[in-house]
Amino acid sequence: MVHRGGRHAITDRSRRDGAFASSLRNSKVATRRVGSMSDRTQRPDTILVLDFGSQYTHLIARRVREQKVYSEVVAHDTTVEEIKSKATDMNVKGLVFSGGPSSVYSPDAPSCDMRILEMALPILGICYGHQLIAKRALGKVRPGKKNEYGITYVSVDRPVGILKGMSKTERVWMSHRDIVTELPEEYETLAHSDNCPVAAFQCKLRPIYGIQWHPEVAHTEKGTLTLRNFIFEVCKCTPNWMVEDCIEKAIREVKNTVGQARAIVALSGGVDSGVAAAIASKAIGRNLSAVLVDHGLMRDGEPEVVKSIFSKLEMNLIVLNEKERFLKKLRKIKDPEEKRRIIGREFMRSFERASKALKADYLIQGTIYPDRIESGFRKHSDKIKTHHNVGGLPHTLKFKTIVEPIRDLYKDEVRLIAQQIGLPKEVWLRQPFPGPGLAVRIAGEVTPEKLEILKRADRIVDEEVRKSGLSGKLWQYFPVLTDTRSTGVKGDARAYGYVAAIRAVESLDGMTASFARLPYELLETISSRMTNEIPEIARVVYDVTHKPPATIEWE
Ligand code: XMP
């Protein structure tokens, strides 16, 4: 995130750990703000993103927000009246039609209120959005000769509007099958590629644009410039929003929902649940208890670290030792989604028991946007995996409500809020860790033996990556215990043991990721240590798959 120094702000000494407890006790949001939202503007300039189901829809909103312009994702069938009704809270200056997995010709293809095209608001259609606008304008959309996924080069025919400042050839990221082949007279082509005769267009009469590629994805080299052109040149937005504005909104939401009642917050020790806990603490103070479920699937020593950090917080901290129960429930379970669902269900049972004992009616969770996106909570989008804190929840819950105060934020936005709200550095710099823990890093059945092996391997990877000085540059780095065994030779004897894989990725938000090009020396050290120190591991491999097509976790 790049707001006011972005990650560099992490070095700000004024927010040191010592300030943590006291700043949480303050009722006003902590410091470094340049003024509350009302000082700056009541109604931030806003770009609304109409969601047609792409995995990247929310990246668009996030990229817009990086430019300090507020953005919100709305359903694709949002009406003109609904857009107009937003005028009390925000100044809508433009619309983006997202991509999506459908074909504009399929019978259940998502559409929009076409009166939106007459609203005189600037519109940018991306991928499916581009095709939808072209089809609606009576252009031609056809299946392409081949699917196009990944890096492509486009030729820019007219560097104007959203393509202002582009070179003749640009490296972009595409993911589509259909293509726009013809446009009506009032539209003109701005770019083409070998596969797409109309890779970008503009309407000559209105500020309406379309592009086949994805400017929101980091692999598109001038994606940010394309979005900036749309936001500032076409929509004429003023950058008058900051991520910190979300803190007050989130505190208000928790206060209004929970009122004078009691709530528990599900704490894992990661930055998401830490921020949710800090926000809830500010909202309802002593009526909040933090519950850490020790399911035995955390890293070695992790529950102790979390306890020591969060016991400084002004709230009741409860640690539940549930190791045996979780392991029992996971016995003989091999399917990754089944594992995720079981863990989600068991988590909820633990929280229900805790809430009964504490007489708490509300559960607060640190769910963030990518959790919800990948769990397929939106119309017309595919489920990638059941994030345990979203899709993994049982349908019958004994809570009045689950409150998710940071559900619309991305990880880097959450990290920034963690600094602003006064959480210690060790929380905001923590690697993301999946709710189902090491269970999704053990292929096949989770057994106590495999857990022990993986914890030891994890310690080695952690120690060596830290020693190499690369830990700060990586989004995540960890070992995976595969279900495959392999023959080796240790000393002069035959060895037959597990194949462990190392996964290390660079990412901005966890939505896309590149495998990290770790030095061979580092990989060699990790491999020798693992095979020497852990007798059950016979072989170590390195995962060189980006996301997509892989996900970051193996399961
Ligand atoms: P994937 O594997 O989907 O992971 O590429 C993206 C990011 O999300 C983390 N992750 C989870 N976080 N609950 C969470 O809170 C989950 O169930 C979960 N599954 C994956 C993962 O570690 C990565 O940072």
CA angle (24, 28, 32) in 5-degree steps = 85
Mean pLDDT, residues 11-24 taken together: 37
Q: How far is the CA of 58 from the centre of ligand 1 (A)?
A: 16
CATH number (3.40.50.720, 3.40.640.10, 3.40.50.620, 3.30.470.20) of 7-31+243-428 reads: 3.40.50.620
CA dihedral 234, 236, 240, 242 (to 10 degrees): 0
pLDDT interval class at 417 (50, 70, 90):
very high
CB atoms within 10 A of CB 501: 20
Per domain, the residue ranges of the chain are 7-31+243-428, 37-234, 442-542
214 catalytic? Reply is yes
Atom of ligand 1 at shortest range from CA of 432: 24
Ligand 1 pocket, mutate which of 345, 404, 553 (most atoms under 8 A from CB) = 553
pLDDT, tens digit, for every residue of 498-550? 999 999 999 987 878 999 999 999 999 999 999 999 999 999 999 999 998 89
Note the pLDDT of residue 372: 75
Cβ–Cβ < 8 Å for 482, 445: no
Note the pLDDT of residue 10: 25
Q: Is the pLDDT of residue 483 over 90?
A: yes
CB atoms within 10 A of CB 426: 14
Distance CA(268)–CA(319), nearest Å, equals 10
Closest C-alpha to ligand 1, atom 18:
434
State pTM to two decimals.
0.74
Q: How far is the CA of 388 from the centre of ligand 1 (A)?
A: 9
In the CATH scheme, what is the code of domain 37-234? 3.40.50.880
Q: Is the pLDDT of residue 78 over 90?
A: yes
Q: How far is the CA of 109 from the centre of ligand 1 (A)?
A: 29
190 phi and psi, to 5 degrees? -105, -25
Q: How far is the CA of 466 from the centre of ligand 1 (A)?
A: 22
Mean pLDDT, residues 98-124 taken together: 93
Q: Is the pLDDT of residue 381 over 60?
A: no
Ligand 1 pocket, mutate which of 387, 390, 440, 442 (most atoms under 8 A from CB) = 387
Q: Is the pLDDT of residue 370 over 90?
A: no
Cβ–Cβ < 8 Å for 96, 49: yes
Ligand 1 pocket, mutate which of 348, 365, 374 (most atoms under 8 A from CB) = 374
Mean pLDDT, residues 347-369 taken together: 93
Closest C-alpha to ligand 1, atom 19:
434
Q: Is the pLDDT of residue 19 over 50?
A: no
Q: What does the DSSP assignment read for 142-205?
A: EEEEEEEEEEEEEEES---GGGTT--SEEEEEEEEEEEEEE--TTEEEEEE-SS-S-SEEEESS
Scan for tokens 């009576």, then name that residue.
138
Ligand 1 pocket, mutate which of 273, 371, 474 (most atoms under 8 A from CB) = 371
Ligand 1 neighbours by CB, cut-off 6 Å: 370-371, 374, 385, 387-389, 432, 434-436, 476, 510, 547, 551-553
CA angle (71, 72, 75) in 5-degree steps = 145
Q: Does domain 442-542 have CATH number 3.20.20.70?
A: no
Distance CA(73)–CA(480), nearest Å, equals 35
Mean pLDDT, residues 329-355 taken together: 94
Closest C-alpha to ligand 1, atom 21:
434
Whether 7-31+243-428 and 37-234 share one fold: the answer is: yes
Note the pLDDT of residue 389: 62
Structure tokens at 237: 């937005």
Q: At what angle do helices 520-533 and 448-468 cross, to 10 degrees?
A: 150
pLDDT interval class at 377 (50, 70, 90):
low
Name the catalytic one among 58, 76, 130, 214: 214
Note the pLDDT of residue 313: 72
Closest CA to 268 of 422, 462, 427, 394: 427
Atom of ligand 1 at shortest range from CA of 507: 24
Which of 39-48, 105-114, 292-301 has the weakest average pLDDT? 39-48
pLDDT interval class at 198 (50, 70, 90):
very high
pLDDT interval class at 390 (50, 70, 90):
low
Q: Is the pLDDT of residue 24 over 60?
A: no
Distance CA(95)–CA(414), nearest Å, equals 25
**Spatial CB neighbours of 335, under 8 Å, sequence gap ≥ 6:** none
Mean pLDDT of the chain: 88
Beta strands in 160-315 (DSSP E): 169-182, 187-192, 200-203, 208-211, 263-267, 288-294
Cα Rg of the chain, angstroms: 25
Q: How far is the CA of 492 from the centre of ligand 1 (A)?
A: 41
E strand or H helix at 40, and its extent? Answer: helix 37-40
Note the pLDDT of residue 35: 39
**Spatial CB neighbours of 184, under 8 Å, sequence gap ≥ 6:** 137, 138, 139
Name the catalytic one among 148, 216, 302, 536: 216
Q: How far is the CA of 430 from the centre of ligand 1 (A)?
A: 14
Distance CA(76)–CA(129), nearest Å, equals 10
Q: In this prediction, what percent of the chain has a pLDDT beyond 90?
A: 69
Note the pLDDT of residue 456: 98
